[in-house]
């Protein structure tokens, strides 16, 4: 375990099993369709990489780079840094994000995709931190529910660090309260 981690919440094996479960749900919901998975950079990368291994329906994927955090807090303002390279007109989309927290990012990106002509927009998040929600958003595919603690690993970061941890853990408070 990394020395900055207080406790491991979800092991790599638990994450893989969860991705299998989510992949099966997506297969059932999108039978006969070809969804476009839209990974929200950077946190979604390990999650989408694992998840697509467990989806058997035809699918495509692309990425958007969006930002709404400074340090440990959401600014409430979602900035689009890199937009999609793929047209979404008439497409069924599944937004892939590492964590559903305040709801600002999912709300803003879903609205943008609908404005561009998406047929449907659903969301898959590895983690759901419902008690921090500021906007009511639907998360259709949830990996794990998490309490209001600062989590890192498997794509989640603090100041761009810890994304490469193969598990999800609670970051020690002294690391981010300097």
Which pTM value belongs to this model? 0.91
Tell me the per-residue pLDDT of 110-143, one tens digit each, with 9 for 90 and over: 999 999 999 999 999 999 999 888 888 999 999 9
Q: Quick one: average pLDDT of 147-157?
A: 95
pLDDT value at residue 43 = 93
101 counts as catalytic: yes
* Separation between Cα atoms, residue 108 and residue 16, nearest integer Å: 29
What domains can be seen in the chain, in order of their start residue? 12-148 (3.40.50.2020)
Q: Percent of the chain having pLDDT more than 70?
A: 95
Active-site residue, selected from the candidate residues 27, 29, 62, 101: 101
**Geometric angle at alpha carbon 108, from 84 and 74, rounded to 5°:** 110
Neighbours of 56 (CB within 10 A): 12
pLDDT value at residue 42 = 92
> Residues near 62 by Cβ (< 8 Å), separated by ≥ 6?
36, 37, 38, 39, 84, 85, 86
Tell me the per-residue pLDDT of 9-61, one tens digit each, with 9 for 90 and over: 999 999 999 999 999 999 999 999 999 999 999 999 999 999 999 999 999 99
Pairwise pLDDT comparison (136 vs 158), residue with the higher score: 158
Element (H, E) at 39: strand 36-41
Tell me the per-residue pLDDT of 65-100, one tens digit each, with 9 for 90 and over: 988 756 556 566 778 899 999 999 999 999 999 999
Question: CA Rg, the chain, in Å?
Answer: 16
């Amino acid at each position: 375990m990394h020395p900055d981690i207080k406790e491991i919440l979800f092991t790599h094996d638990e994450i893989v099993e969860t991705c299998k479960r989510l992949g099966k749900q997506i297969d059932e919901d999108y039978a006969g369709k070809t969804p476009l998975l839209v990974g929200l950079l950077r946190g979604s990368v390990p999650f989408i990489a694992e998840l697509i291994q467990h989806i058997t329906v035809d699918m495509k994927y692309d990425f958007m780079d969006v930002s709404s955090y400074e340090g440990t807090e959401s600014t409430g303002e979602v900035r689009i840094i890199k937009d999609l390279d793929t047209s979404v007109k008439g497409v069924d989309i599944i937004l892939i994000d590492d964590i559903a927290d305040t709801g600002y990012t999912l709300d803003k990106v879903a609205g943008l995709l609908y404005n561009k002509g998406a047929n449907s927009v659903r969301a898959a998040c590895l983690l759901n931190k419902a008690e921090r929600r500021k906007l009511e958003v639907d998360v259709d595919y949830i990996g794990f529910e998490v309490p209001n603690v600062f989590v890192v690993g498997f794509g989640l970061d603090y100041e761009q660090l810890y994304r490469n941890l193969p598990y999800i853990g609670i970051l020690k408070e002294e690391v981010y309260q300097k």
